[in-house]
Amino acid sequence: MRTKWAILCSGWGANAIDVMEEYFCNEEVSENFEIALLIYDAEQCGAAQTAQKAGIETLQIKRSDFNNYEEHQQELIIELKRREIDFIFMMNYKYLIRKDMLNSFPNQIINIHPSLFPSFLATKTAIQDAISYGVKITGITTHRIDHEYDKGEILFQVPIKVNSEDSFDTLYPKFKKKGKKIILQTMLGISNNYTKNNPR
């Protein structure tokens, strides 16, 4: 059986849209793992629309419906466990993952960050920060989530060259193009390794 993934997103979900569209165009990845669920927060979520058109189950679980983060994530845990999800990928997910969820899915929650670890961590403006700092090379990192913010095990990295004339508007399309590829590369690599070590 294919490894089952869930995607978490809390806004429009541009990353998730790109990944799902690429996923269905690439037989190598779609044959090896399943994007089984998309959990979203926002009322207006393009990723949810894309998932529904593609036949992927969607579930809206709004943070505002719960008293605190812990209650919210307990609901996430229940729904993810109910569907026997193997791995979770955070794509533009703005909520910090709490202890109970980390313990429920040890080493199974993955994130993407727009920098090469260990540079420009714990920030929502990593691309702008790289330009401001004047780096010549920045990039993208996928990593496991653990109890330290932006400190989990590095999984994959891809470099992106920063030209002297680059602005956010010219650099962001490079992140967008390479981002969907590194996400799928990460999902495929984890899935292949998991299937090899956990035959069903």
Give the pLDDT confidence of 154-192 residue by residue, as tens digits.
Answer: 999 999 999 999 999 999 999 999 999 999 999 999 999
Whether the per-residue pLDDT at 18 is higher than 90: the answer is yes
Whether the per-residue pLDDT at 199 is higher than 80: the answer is no
pLDDT score of 104? 97
Measure the CA–CA gap between 121 and 6, rounded to whole angstroms. Answer: 24
Say if CB 152 and CB 122 are below 8 A apart.
no
- Planar angle of CA 142, 119, 18, nearest 5 degrees: 35
**Mean predicted confidence (pLDDT) in 51-60:** 96
One-letter amino acid of 57: E
CATH, residue 44? 3.40.50.170
Measure the CA–CA gap between 102 and 77, rounded to whole angstroms. Answer: 10
Q: Which domain holds residue 20?
A: 3-197
Domains identified in the chain, total number = 1
